[in-house]
């Protein structure tokens, strides 16, 4: 087989009139074979099958068209979408209203959606709304961890289908949910000494890291990069758990107290710098230990990469190249610190009555308030 033979056959099959004596007898014979294949009339599908499938597709298309608001909210979700920027008020109000008004049908259908499915955006919105209605930090943290676990399950399903883009989306969302949930649980420990929250977080990271390791073989390209980002989150969470319990690996727990102003509940994303040892090392410790940041490289979300930072030995006299968080905790330990680096911003649900304990959106008073919110948002 020579390139000339290949090209001559291709031109022959295309009916190139400029072909003259360039075609060998073998190529002509191959062309005749192709002609036999091409002129055989295929057997069509059974009319009964076609009619039944047509009716099923029409029903499915009509059902799909009934959720335009939610799909429009999430339009533009590309294969490598890493950030979700949307109106939290509209998202919470619209999603919760869909929950209230659908008699459970939409929520049930959306619950099974996978990345790339039409109802996947609705699924995420519904989850966010449910979590927003949870009031205590431990329950909220657990809910975010459950979200992260669900995202990993979706990534497993997508990767199994060969949908690398969908797996990437799910893993990046898992990263966000994991860091948010970990922050809630770490804060519960640092502010109230709730040891069970850290234990829960430790068990969760062990289980999910094992799942991620098993998933690695199925991932490629952007999905593999998303998995790496998620692994970085696990590593940082584990480092932070060690710090909060006084077993900091950066300073080997020499001084278990964190520096004033160090936010131990803050787990930055992989592309941002991370202070592995946030401990107070005393008057000589202006340098706060090892600072870890991701090396610059292609970013899935277009966010600027953190500059490379060299490791600094603990006894060095150089000042740290990354400033600790400037904000000190307020006097009210129950108020979470706003962090501009977190994506997406915390959800707020408008016009909710105060609730004494964490409860779901099944409360009719809450639902009525949310429906009012929907009307306020959607009607001009």
Closer by beta carbon to another protein, 163 or else 290 = 163
Question: What Cα–Cα distance (Å) separates residue 39 from each residue in 34, 54, 96?
Answer: 9, 28, 57
**Is residue 117 within the footprint of another protein (CB under 8 A)?**
yes
Question: What Cα–Cα distance (Å) separates residue 73 from each residue in 91, 191, 300, 361?
Answer: 8, 37, 21, 21
**Is residue 112 within the footprint of another protein (CB under 8 A)?**
no
- 183 Cβ contact partners less than 8 Å away, ≥ 6 residues apart: 141, 265, 266, 267
**Is residue 21 within the footprint of another protein (CB under 8 A)?**
no
Q: Rule CB under 8 A: which of 148-187 touch another protein? A: 161-162
Task: Provide the CA 118 distance to its chain's centre, in angstroms.
Answer: 17
Question: What Cα–Cα distance (Å) separates residue 171 from each residue in 48, 88, 98, 158, 286?
Answer: 42, 22, 26, 10, 37
Report d(CA 371, CA 96) in Å as an integer: 8
**Is residue 7 within the footprint of another protein (CB under 8 A)?**
yes
**Is residue 195 within the footprint of another protein (CB under 8 A)?**
no
Stretch that binds another protein, among 13-21, 139-147, 243-251, 369-377 (CB under 8 A): 13-21
Closer by beta carbon to another protein, 19 or else 316 = 19
Report d(CA 116, CA 95) in Å as an integer: 19
Is the distance from CB of 115 to CB of 170 less than 8 angstroms? yes
**Is residue 18 within the footprint of another protein (CB under 8 A)?**
no
Is the distance from CB of 124 to CB of 115 less than 8 angstroms? no
Stretch that binds another protein, among 46-54, 97-105, 244-252, 345-353 (CB under 8 A): 46-54
- Shortest distance, CB of residue 57 to another protein, whole angstroms? 6
**Is residue 211 within the footprint of another protein (CB under 8 A)?**
no
Closer by beta carbon to another protein, 6 or else 108 = 6
Is the distance from CB of 110 to CB of 95 less than 8 angstroms? no
Report d(CA 73, CA 86) in Å as an integer: 7
- Shortest distance, CB of residue 161 to another protein, whole angstroms? 7
What is the number of other CB atoms lying within 10 angstroms of the CB of residue 86?
A: 15
- Shortest distance, CB of residue 375 to another protein, whole angstroms? 23
At 358, give phi and psi (nearest 5°): -60, 130
Q: Can you tell me which of 18, 20, 21, 40 binds another protein, judged by CB under 8 A? A: 40
Q: Which two tokens stand for residue 261?
A: 């102003």
Q: Can you tell me which of 41, 282, 356, 364 binds another protein, judged by CB under 8 A? A: 41
**Is residue 60 within the footprint of another protein (CB under 8 A)?**
yes
Q: Can you tell me which of 54, 112, 135, 359 binds another protein, judged by CB under 8 A? A: 54
Stretch that binds another protein, among 26-34, 179-187, 242-250, 327-335 (CB under 8 A): 26-34
| Phi-psi region at 275: left, alpha or beta (left = phi > 0; alpha = psi -120 to 50) | beta
Stretch that binds another protein, among 54-62, 104-112, 281-289, 370-378 (CB under 8 A): 54-62
Stretch that binds another protein, among 24-32, 142-150, 262-270, 271-279 (CB under 8 A): 24-32
Containing 274, the helix (H) or strand (E) segment is: strand 274-275
Q: Which residues lie near another protein (CB under 8 A)?
A: 1, 5-7, 9-10, 12-15, 23, 27-46, 49-50, 53-54, 56-58, 60-62, 64-65, 68, 71, 75, 116-118, 161-162
């Amino acid at each position: 087989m020579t390139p000339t033979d290949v090209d001559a056959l291709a031109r022959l099959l295309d009916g190139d009139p400029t072909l003259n004596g360039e075609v060998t007898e073998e190529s002509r014979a191959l062309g005749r074979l192709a002609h036999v294949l091409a002129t055989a009339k295929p057997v069509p599908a059974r009319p009964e099958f076609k009619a039944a499938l047509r009716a099923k597709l029409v029903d499915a298309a009509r059902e799909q068209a009934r959720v335009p608001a939610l799909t429009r909210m999430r339009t533009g979700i590309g294969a490598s979408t890493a950030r979700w920027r949307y109106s939290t008020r509209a998202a919470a109000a619209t999603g919760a209203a869909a929950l209230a008004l659908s008699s459970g049908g939409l929520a049930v259908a959306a619950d099974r959606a996978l990345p790339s499915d039409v109802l996947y955006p609705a699924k995420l919105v519904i989850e966010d709304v449910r979590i927003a209605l949870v009031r205590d930090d431990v329950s909220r943290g657990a809910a975010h961890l459950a979200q992260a676990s669900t995202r990993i399950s979706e990534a497993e399903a997508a990767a199994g289908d060969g949908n690398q883009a969908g797996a990437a989306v799910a893993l990046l969302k898992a990263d966000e949910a994991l860091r948010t949930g970990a922050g809630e649980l770490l804060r519960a420990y640092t502010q109230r000494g709730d040891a069970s929250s850290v234990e829960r977080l430790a068990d969760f990271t062990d289980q999910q890291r094992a799942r991620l390791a098993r998933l690695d073989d199925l991932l490629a390209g952007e999905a593999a990069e998303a998995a790496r980002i998620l692994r970085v989150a696990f590593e940082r969470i584990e480092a932070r758990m060690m710090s909060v319990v006084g077993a900091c690996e950066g300073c080997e727990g020499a001084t278990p107290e964190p520096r004033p102003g160090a936010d131990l509940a803050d787990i930055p994303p992989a592309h941002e710098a991370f202070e592995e040892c946030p401990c107070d090392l005393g008057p000589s410790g202006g340098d706060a230990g090892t600072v870890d940041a991701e090396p610059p490289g292609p970013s899935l979300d277009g966010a600027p990469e953190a500059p490379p930072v060299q490791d600094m030995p603990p006894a060095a006299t150089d000042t740290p190249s990354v400033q600790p968080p400037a904000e000190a905790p307020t006097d009210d330990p129950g108020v979470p610190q706003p962090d501009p680096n977190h994506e997406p911003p915390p959800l707020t649900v408008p016009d909710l009555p105060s609730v004494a304990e964490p409860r779901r959106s099944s409360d009719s008073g809450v639902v009525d308030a949310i429906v009012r919110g929907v009307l306020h948002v959607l009607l001009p």
